[in-house]
Structure 1
Amino acid sequence: MWVTDDEKWFTYDKNVRKRVWSKGTQALQVISKSGLTRNKLMLCMWWDWKGLIHYESLPPGETIDSDLYRYQMMRLRQEVEKKRPELIKRKDVVFHLDNA
């Protein structure tokens, strides 16, 4: 029985808009804010042959260190207990970890 993981960086545009006040009966104008910046977001996922078990995204600017990884593994265990309870007691479950 295998459980594997992967991390993926996503870049996205922060589409912030602002409203421009108008006079009298004119409709409000919505324009894109100048100087939009691209942001990066890391998505971490764990799955097995049945499908996705758990995923989470890191807050912007945060990286994976030993403490965060430990908490991710604890959250993964909670999700495995809920979604794949048959795996908890098994002795032959192998975690295939990328870049561990």
Structure 2
Amino acid sequence: MNAMKIITMTQDEFQILLGQEIGKAFESFAEKFQKKSNDEYLTRKQVAELLDIDLSTLHSYCKTGKLNPRGIGRRVYFLRSEVESSLIKLRN
């Protein structure tokens, strides 16, 4: 059980402490949502999850040329930048 402590401090000290804590929280938040490198290779499963599609749909996109897979042996990979650039803007 944590014991409660009452601490007295000036308003300036409180503002400094609060600013430091907010800064730490913001840095933590920014790290989570920092844009990933576009040169990152993704697996079929990762691309399907990213696009919220089934693996059979992903296979269809590859066959029709909508996505450009790369392979090493039996493994298939996609460049994140190419997957993101394959998305088209819809008219509103």
Q: What TM-score, normalized to structure 2?
A: 0.24
Larger Rg: 2
Bigger proportion of residues as strand: 1
Q: What TM-score, normalized to structure 1?
A: 0.22
